[in-house]
Chain A
């Protein structure tokens, strides 16, 4: 078969239909990745305009440009947009685009899930921006502390926009987290052992793992606050046994890992680009992997340092202060590994390298002010001043924006297939670099002179006037720099000359393909024996295009890629990925309907959309699988493997494992809230407890035991009955629970019961699904993936349901 014929066959399988239909139905990782990047840049521009308005307001003392009402919306939206609608989606987009190409795969593990994430992001972000244009943007700070964000002090829908819109967008973050984790663990090139993975994949594995465990506390906190605002359940109201501190714990339990979730992908880009720019290999691969894992772990021990002034005991402060300083060590390991890499190589000042130098300077300064802030006595002075604003911009812009600009210039040829024109990029760099330092270095000084954050005007004669004016001038220089960057990109797309393959002489697999890349990435899949496949064989890309690798044959219209054993990279099965579909956009629209109903206060209509989502989910799952055994299929090189229809541990099974890990984290956060309020919050004990009952726990435990045993024996009707028993027990429990709006005890109890109901109910629906599928002929002795996946969800639903039923009646027994 000729390379051209193979290209045509594969394009027919992996490509999109023409026109809008193709656009709306596409699930291809390159398409979705590029959309994330473009949309994130648009939101970056919107957030940047808000920053310009803030700097215009602060340029002079006693400015009358905007009043405090508008100014509060400005800084709240600037922070929220940059964090949730720019930084996270930007790296998600870059990752979605690059990761399969770097790993030698044709797509991500769950292409439809990436598409769902994209539409959720687009719809959620649009809601937030439209609310801002309507003048009802969130105005309680990007951290949304209650009670200020609660119903009493923010009666309008401003806080609801944040809670619902951001939670909607977080669906895409959770999708991406599971997607990235499973793709890195399972969908790699043959022979790509853990220690042969590109360093970028290690960084993303750490990041995605942090997202799996970091986002659930925020999602839980947002749900609780929205329920408090909508239905008056007093989780955060001290007069009814709640505590505003609970929100701070949940928010920063997410908020600090968030900083590293943003930094690690950018650092991964640095570790990838820097050695290429220095024409050498990365120094200390193993040490960097260890540093990444240490950062991912340590960052969960730091959240309290955002709460140093909330009256936490001094010894606890000492512990968290030490932990905060400790994270500087893995960061230092990376910095010096990069310096050592430059030292051993011959660095060339090409454009991406220029941005990396900018990153070094800005980020190191930001890191050092961070260590200063980690010291409690200093933090108590500088907390909530412009010094902190300056520090966080040095870290985030230095640690994220500069590496992302380097990454943009490094990988743009891959996306456009073109060379850049003239030297616009250098001019943009100097404008951004000088503008940035002018803006934020001055803010260190105004902060030390005592200028607080979040004030809309300030008097003359405080010594802040000139510094603020300089900051504003710097801000506008930056804006010109970013505009120039955008012009540069557009020029490259329109006017750039067509570029040869692998322009930088890189050694990773994403360059072993024609640029711009094809929809299917590799005409045949590579087998790797080292960490730098292109260094061993510079013509690998040509050989792959000729069909000399694995899975070179286009057959049955299947989207095939290779799934490997996690650690050794031995080929394990052929993953057959789903094709283009209306389901992702339809599901996102259905979820959007739910969020809009909640926002509009039409609480009676909202559940309709949830039922619609379940129905779509059922149909979605129904499209997978096959009604006949496929057996072993040849993959080339004389080898044969089973397909994902018949493999024991599919990507779907692993995806369920991580989805349940995220849900369990949410559950653990809720249990933490229950215990926290019980021990710390004022106005306890509650006026009435759940009355002691033997029926509720016994029914739930019996149901859980039956489900647990039957799911292993394959007796699906009994599994279904077991879960329905748990549902009945928890509903019975809820009928005896005191009204959830009377006290935080009743509210958290009802929330726990709702969690159990959700998972037992979900397991019941999934059991019904598996029964219907078996009847329709989708299961056989070989095709047993779905019952295996059900076992995970059933066990979780049964365990959580029984545990909650028992936990909630205990206080009544002992009272």
Chain B
């Protein structure tokens, strides 16, 4: 996704800059005589038709990519409730296991996070696993994440939430199958 957009952007920016430079070079050649540019070519073609084609392709592509990240029902999914507050993250895992600022999930299985806040607006973000989801008091949002490999990941608050915003962080521990069993067994 990223490389497609970067490449496309470079091509478009290049096109504009080359045309701009050529407009100035043209000035030096052939003085005299009224010159006209074709409105149909410049405005109809380059201004209207080109962006329509490019944007249609891009929006279609983005929608397909976006649908792939939606939480479709999955029997293997685990659900964790996440409550944000100034300045901590409270997690409630399956079996009622509570932790603060550490999120435990099984690797290779989808985890559905049910996110809310008990004071101001925060935003839940694990840069390496998924996009952000706002934590809004009075509302709950669902976010599906999948960690393919076990390990720890850094998470942070991505919506300015006050003086402690910078340090409003958490860690994610993705367990392998054995580790996950041990974690959930530990509850009993």
Contact = CB atoms under 8 A, between A and B. Distances in A.
Contacts of A329: 47-48, 51-52, 55
A498 interface: no
B92 interface: no
B81 to A, nearest CB: 15
A147 B123 CA distance: 14
Nearest to A383: B132
A378 B160 contact: no
B19 A325 contact: no
Contact of B35 (A339, A345, A681): A345
A491 interface: no
A652 interface: no
A455 interface: yes
Given A317-B66, A318-B63, A244 B55 contact: no
Contacts of B20: 339, 342, 357, 360
Contacts of A457: 166
Contact of B16 (A152, A364, A454): A364
A728 interface: no
Contact of B24 (A69, A347, A681, A682): A347
Interface in B159-177: 159-166
A558 interface: no
Interface string A89-108: 00000000000000000000
A72 B156 CA distance: 18
Contacts of B131: 309, 377, 379-381, 383
B5 to A, nearest CB: 5
Interface in B3-18: 5, 9, 12-13, 16-17
Interface string A353-369: 00001001100110011
Interface in B70-125: 70, 86, 119-121, 123, 125
B159 A365 contact: no
Interface stretch (A7-15, A330-338, A643-651): A330-338
Contacts of B41: 340
B39 interface: yes
A346 B63 CA distance: 44
A147 B137 contact: yes
A376 B51 CA distance: 19
A17 interface: no
B43 A283 contact: yes
Contacts of A147: 119-121, 137
A199 to B, nearest CB: 14
A232 interface: no
A671 interface: no
B68 to A, nearest CB: 9
Given A329-B48, A340-B42, A377-B62, A681 B19 contact: no
B26 A378 contact: no
A61 interface: no
B9 A333 contact: no
B179 interface: no
Contact of B160 (A310, A321, A372, A453): A453
Contacts of B31: 346
A239 B137 CA distance: 9
Contact of B70 (A287, A314, A340, A346): A314
Which among A326, A377, A458 has the highest number of chain B CB atoms within 10 Å?
A377
A333 B43 contact: yes
Interface residues of B, number: 69
A169 to B, nearest CB: 23
A283 B36 CA distance: 9
A682 B139 contact: yes
A422 B33 CA distance: 34
Interface string B40-71: 01110011101110010011001101110110
A238 B1 contact: no
A340 B141 contact: no
Given A148-B121, A335-B16, A347-B27, A380 B132 contact: yes
A22 B51 CA distance: 53
A683 interface: yes
B92 to A, nearest CB: 19
A455 B159 CA distance: 11
B181 to A, nearest CB: 32
Interface string A281-320: 0011001000000000000000000000111001001100
Contacts of B178: none
A317 B119 CA distance: 26
B63 A365 contact: no
Interface string A239-269: 1001111000000000000000000000000
Which among B50, B51, B69, B125 has the highest number of chain A CB atoms within 10 Å?
B51
A311 B58 contact: no
Nearest to A365: B13
A328 B51 contact: yes
A607 interface: no
Given A145-B121, A336-B46, A343 B37 contact: yes
Given A310-B141, A383-B132, A682-B138, A244 B121 contact: yes
Given A283-B43, A383-B158, A321 B59 contact: yes
Contacts of B35: 280, 344-345
B62 A375 contact: yes
A339 B134 contact: no
Given A153-B162, A377-B131, A344 B37 contact: yes
B136 interface: yes
Nearest to A238: B138
B127 interface: yes
A371 interface: yes
A343 B136 contact: no
Contacts of A148: 120-121, 160-162
B66 A314 contact: yes
A691 interface: no
A287 B163 CA distance: 49
A162 to B, nearest CB: 14
A69 B166 CA distance: 12
B23 A339 contact: yes
A336 B47 contact: yes
Interface string B130-148: 1111101111111000000
Contacts of A682: 138-139
A342 B23 contact: yes
A456 interface: yes
Given A284-B43, A349-B24, A371-B9, 17 more contacts: A148-B161, A238-B137, A238-B138, A287-B43, A314-B67, A318-B59, A328-B55, A329-B51, A341-B37, A343-B23, A346-B31, A361-B17, A376-B63, A377-B65, A384-B123, A450-B127, A454-B165
29 contacts: A72-B160, A148-B121, A243-B138, A283-B37, A284-B47, A310-B136, A311-B136, A318-B66, A332-B48, A336-B46, A340-B42, A341-B37, A342-B20, A344-B36, A347-B23, A347-B24, A360-B20, A364-B13, A368-B12, A371-B9, A375-B5, A376-B63, A377-B69, A378-B2, A381-B127, A383-B132, A383-B158, A384-B132, A452-B158
Interface of A: 68-69, 72, 140-141, 145-148, 152-153, 238-239, 242-245, 280, 283-284, 287, 309-311, 314, 317-318, 321-322, 325-326, 328-329, 332-337, 339-349, 357, 360-361, 364-365, 368-369, 371-372, 375-381, 383-385, 450, 452-458, 680-683
The 3 closest A-B pairs by CB, nearest first: A238-B138, A380-B131, A340-B42
